[in-house]
A and B are shown apart, each in its own frame.
Chain A
Amino acid sequence: MANFYLRTESIKPEEIMDLSVLNQSDNDIISSLLSSEPCLIEGSRGTGKSFLMRVAEIKIENEVKDTLPVFISFNISSLINTTDPLQFYHWMLAKTLKALLNNLRKRGLFVSIHSANLLSNDGHEKEDEIEKDLKSIIKDFENSYKGNADIKVDVLPDIEDVKEAIETICKENNLSRIYFFFDEAAHVFRPEQQRQSFSLYKDLRSPYITCNGAIYPGTTHYGDSFEPTHDCIFKKLDRNIKDSDYLSYFKNIVYNQADEGIKSAIDNNVGLFISLALCSGGNPRMLLKTIQDLPKFNSTSVNQLIKEFYRAQIWSEHTELGEKYKGHKTLIDWGRDFLENNVIPSIQRYNDNRKDKTLNESTIYFWIHKDVPETVKEALRLLTYTGIIRKTDSSVRATRSELGTRYEVKYGCVLALQSNPTNDSKNLFDHLSIKKFPEFGKSYLAYDSIANLKDTIEGDENYKESLQTLLKKPITVLELLTGWQKEKLNEAGIITLEDLYSKSEAELIEKIYQVGPVRARIMKNAANAELLEYLSG
C-alpha cells in the first residue's frame, strides 16, 4: 500500500527533521541527550531510540556550534576473537576515536595529511601533535583487537591518555564538549560485552565528553563500576497506549510519511486506524509496517492483517533471534511457547470470563512471581527485547500479598485472537485496567522444561566440549552464592558446577539441612546464571 521508512538508518540525514514527530516525553529525552550529563535511553526494538538520538545529534550540530556530536554504530562485522580479555572495550574505543577523527575532519578541524593533497612532503611536518597522538592510539587499539601482533595489553594507551587527547583537541579548537552517541548495541546478548561497554561509557566521563547511548530492556549486565541510576540520566522510551496524546502522536508519524491517498483512507476509517495504532503497542516501526503491508484500508484487510501479523509474523523476528544466538535458542523458543500457550490464552480466558459476567474489565497484563527460576526471567527479558511484552513495574503485590513483576503483552497479540479484532478493540481498550491480571506463581508447571538449563543445550561437538570444561569448575566461582551456601553445598558433596546442575531443587532441599525451597531456588539460579553467561558469549 505504501513505502515507509521502517528504520532510522534508511532515512537520509537531511530528511530526519522533516519526518520527526516529538511529544513531551520525546522532547524531555532530547533535552537530556543535549545536557552535559550522560544519558541512556532504554527501549525495545523499533521504538525510536536511534531516531531520537539522530534528532539530538542534528540539534547539537545546528544549534550548539562550540560542540561536536559524534554518532557511532557498533556494527560487529569485523570483530574477530583474540586472546585480549578486553578486546571488546578496545574495539569500541578505537571505533569511537576513529569516528571522532572523521567528524573533526568534516568540521575542517583536522586535515588528512597522509591522503592525496597538494602539499609537498615538507608540509607533512605540520601535522598537529595531538592528531598524531590520537591516530597512534587508534592504531595500538586496532592491533590489539585485530590480533595483528602479539598483544601487550599492558602497553596499550591508558584511557586517561585518550581523555587528555580529547581535552587538548577541544581546547585547541574552541570546543566546549564532544557528544558521543552510541547506537546499535552489538553487545546485546553478551554479558561480558555489556559490562565492557558500560565500563567504557563510565571511563569516558570528563568535563569535555558526554556519552549518550541506546540500550534494550534486556540489558542488565552493567558491571561493577556502572550504576544506571547514579551514573547517568536513565530514560525509558515507552509509549503507553493509554496516554492522552497517543493516537494523535501516531497519526502524525504516519502522516509525515504518507501520501494523500493513505491520509484520506485513514481519515475515512479512523476506527480502523485506532485499532492498528493500539495493536502496535507504542511501536512506530510496527505501526508503519502493518499499514505498509495492508492491501486495502478496509475492515476486511485490517482484520486479516491484525490476525496474520500479531498471531504469527510478530513471532518470526523473535524466533530468528534463536538462529542468530544459538546459545539462547531454547530460552527464546520456550518464551514464545509460554506466551502463546499459557500467558495469552490466560489473558483471553480472563477477559472472556469478565465479559460473560458483564463486568466492565479487561486486561493485557500478567504477573510473574519474583522467585521464578532465573531461566524464566531470562526468557522474559528476551521477549522484552523484541517488544512482545513490556515490563510495566516490579514489586507488585498479587494474591496473598506475594510480590512479583507485572508485564504488558502487546495489545495486538491479545486482540488478534478475536474473530473480528477491529469490532472488539473498543471494548477491550475502554475497559483495560492495569490492576487486573492473570498470575503465574513461582512453581508454574510450564517452568519445568527449562528449570534445568543444561539439559536444553544444543550445539556442535566443540560447543559441548567447552561446556564440559565449564561444568568442571568448582562452585566457588559462583558469585551469587554466599560463603555459607557454598560451604553447605560442599558438605553435601556438591563440588563442581556439574554436581549442582545435576541436582533438582527438591534434591537440594532433601540433601542439605537448613535449605528450603527459597534457598534451593537461589542456588539453582546462581548455577543457571553462570551457564547463561556462557551461552551468551
Chain B
Amino acid sequence: MKISEYLENINLESQKIFAQSISENEEFGQAHHLSSCIFEFSENILDYNEKEMLKKVSTQLESSMMSLALGFYRQAFYTLRLSFEMGMGAAYFSTNKMEHSEWIQGKSDIIWSKMLDVESGVLSSRFSDAFYPELSHLVKDYREKSNILYRQLSEFVHGNYETWSKSGMQIQYNKNTVTEYFSQYREVVGILLFVLCIRYLKTIPKSNLESIEFVSDEFKHIEAIRIHFGGPK
C-alpha cells in the first residue's frame, strides 16, 4: 500500500465517523453558538491584541469541534485545552501588558498556574474586586472548577494511561467520548464567558449590551449580571 492509499483509507474512515458524528449529535449547533459568543464578545473589547487573542480562541474552538467530528478525539481535547488557556490568557494579559508583549514576541509562555493564582489570577478576589466586585463571591467556585477541568483536559495532552482507552489507538466513533467532550466544551466556554464578564462587562457601553445578549441568557441565574442587563432583582 502506498502512503497516499494509506492516508486515503484513514480519510475514508474519518468521513464515516464524521457522518455518524453529525447525525447522532445535536450539540454541534450549541457548540458553534458558544464559540460565536466568544467572538461576538471580543468585538466589544477595545485593545487590539486582546481582541485578536479571543478571536483565535473562537477559531480554535471551531477547529476542536471539527477534530471531534472527524474522530480525532485526542486532538479535539487538546485544542479545547488550548482555547481554554488562550481565553484565560486574554483576560490575564489585559492586566499584565509587559507579559503580553513578551508572549506576542515569543519570549514567554502562557502559564496556567500564574493565570489562576489564588492571590492575583483572573479568578482571584483581587481581580474581581477590581473589575466586578459583585461577582467576587463566585470566583472561588469558578477557580476550583477551572482547575479540575484543566487537569482533565491535560490528561489527553500528556497522554495519561486512562485517556488511551477513551480515545483509542485507532480512529473509531465513540459516543461516550463525544458526550464527555461536549460537556467539557460547555464548561470551558461558560468559564471563559464568566471571566470575560468580570474583566470587561463594566467597560462595555450600555448601548452595546444588546450585541452580547447571550451573556444575559447564559448567566441570568447570576443576579448581578441579570441586573446589569436590565433584568429583575
| Chain B 187-217 residues near chain A, CB threshold 8 A | 206-207, 209-210, 213-214, 216-217
Q: How far is the CA of A414 from the CA of B147 in the complex (A)?
A: 54
In this assembly, does A292 line the interface, its C-beta being within 8 Å of a C-beta of chain B?
A: no
In this assembly, does B55 line the interface, its C-beta being within 8 Å of a C-beta of chain A?
A: yes
Q: How far is the CA of A117 from the CA of B209 in the complex (A)?
A: 23
In this assembly, does B35 line the interface, its C-beta being within 8 Å of a C-beta of chain A?
A: yes
In this assembly, does A450 line the interface, its C-beta being within 8 Å of a C-beta of chain B?
A: no
Indicate if the CB atoms of B207 and A80 lie closer than 8 Å.
yes
CB contact between A111 and one of B30, B32, B217 (< 8 Å): that residue: B32
Stretch touching chain B among A5-13, A197-205, A326-334: A5-13
| Chain A 60-104 residues near chain B, CB threshold 8 A | 73, 75-78, 80, 95, 98-99, 102
Stretch touching chain A among B122-130, B171-179, B218-226: B218-226
Indicate if the CB atoms of B59 and A106 lie closer than 8 Å.
no
Tell me the minimal C-beta distance from A326 to chain B in angstroms.
18
A-chain residues with CB within 8 Å of residue B216 when the two chains form the complex = 73, 75
Indicate if the CB atoms of A76 and B230 lie closer than 8 Å.
yes
Indicate if the CB atoms of B230 and A11 lie closer than 8 Å.
no
Q: How far is the CA of A186 from the CA of B229 in the complex (A)?
A: 13
In this assembly, does B231 line the interface, its C-beta being within 8 Å of a C-beta of chain A?
A: yes
Tell me the minimal C-beta distance from A17 to chain B in angstroms.
15
A-chain residues with CB within 8 Å of residue B36 when the two chains form the complex = 105, 112, 115
B-chain residues with CB within 8 Å of residue A99 when the two chains form the complex = 213
Tell me the minimal C-beta distance from A479 to chain B in angstroms.
32
Indicate if the CB atoms of A11 and B221 lie closer than 8 Å.
yes
Q: How far is the CA of A106 from the CA of B27 in the complex (A)?
A: 8
CB contact between B210 and one of A10, A78, A111, A186 (< 8 Å): that residue: A78
Indicate if the CB atoms of B206 and A77 lie closer than 8 Å.
yes
B-chain residues with CB within 8 Å of residue A7 when the two chains form the complex = 232
Contact A117:B62 (CB < 8 A) given known A77-B229, A77-B230, A105-B36: yes
In this assembly, does B28 line the interface, its C-beta being within 8 Å of a C-beta of chain A?
A: yes
A-chain residues with CB within 8 Å of residue B5 when the two chains form the complex = none
Indicate if the CB atoms of B29 and A75 lie closer than 8 Å.
no
Indicate if the CB atoms of A115 and B229 lie closer than 8 Å.
no
Number of interface residues of A (CB under 8 A): 30
Tell me the minimal C-beta distance from A214 to chain B in angstroms.
12
Tell me the minimal C-beta distance from A109 to chain B in angstroms.
7
Q: How far is the CA of A117 from the CA of B210 in the complex (A)?
A: 22
CB contact between A105 and one of B32, B58, B63, B229 (< 8 Å): that residue: B32
Indicate if the CB atoms of A75 and B231 lie closer than 8 Å.
yes
Contact A116:B29 (CB < 8 A) given known A9-B232, A75-B231: no
In this assembly, does A108 line the interface, its C-beta being within 8 Å of a C-beta of chain B?
A: yes
Q: How far is the CA of A112 from the CA of B32 in the complex (A)?
A: 8
Tell me the minimal C-beta distance from A287 to chain B in angstroms.
18
Q: How far is the CA of A10 from the CA of B66 in the complex (A)?
A: 34
B-chain residues with CB within 8 Å of residue A80 when the two chains form the complex = 207
Number of interface residues of B (CB under 8 A): 34
In this assembly, does A488 line the interface, its C-beta being within 8 Å of a C-beta of chain B?
A: no
Q: How far is the CA of A107 from the CA of B230 in the complex (A)?
A: 27
Interface flags, A2-38, vs B, CB<8A=1, else 0: 0000010111100000000000000000000000000
Indicate if the CB atoms of A112 and B232 lie closer than 8 Å.
no
Indicate if the CB atoms of A116 and B59 lie closer than 8 Å.
yes
Most buried by B among A73, A75, A184: A75
CB contact between B221 and one of A12, A111, A142, A146 (< 8 Å): that residue: A12
Indicate if the CB atoms of B29 and A108 lie closer than 8 Å.
yes
B-chain residues with CB within 8 Å of residue A146 when the two chains form the complex = 207
Name B226's closest neighbour in chain A (CB-CB). Answer: A9
Contact A105:B223 (CB < 8 A) given known A9-B231, A78-B206, A116-B58: no
Indicate if the CB atoms of B58 and A102 lie closer than 8 Å.
no
Interface flags, A372-389, vs B, CB<8A=1, else 0: 000000000000000000
In this assembly, does B145 line the interface, its C-beta being within 8 Å of a C-beta of chain A?
A: no
Indicate if the CB atoms of B221 and A9 lie closer than 8 Å.
yes
In this assembly, does B155 line the interface, its C-beta being within 8 Å of a C-beta of chain A?
A: no
Tell me the minimal C-beta distance from A29 to chain B in angstroms.
21
16 interchain pairs, CB-CB under 8 A? A9-B221, A77-B209, A77-B228, A78-B206, A95-B213, A98-B210, A105-B32, A105-B36, A107-B29, A111-B32, A115-B58, A116-B58, A118-B59, A118-B63, A146-B207, A186-B230
Closest 3 CB pairs of A and B: A108-B29, A77-B230, A75-B230
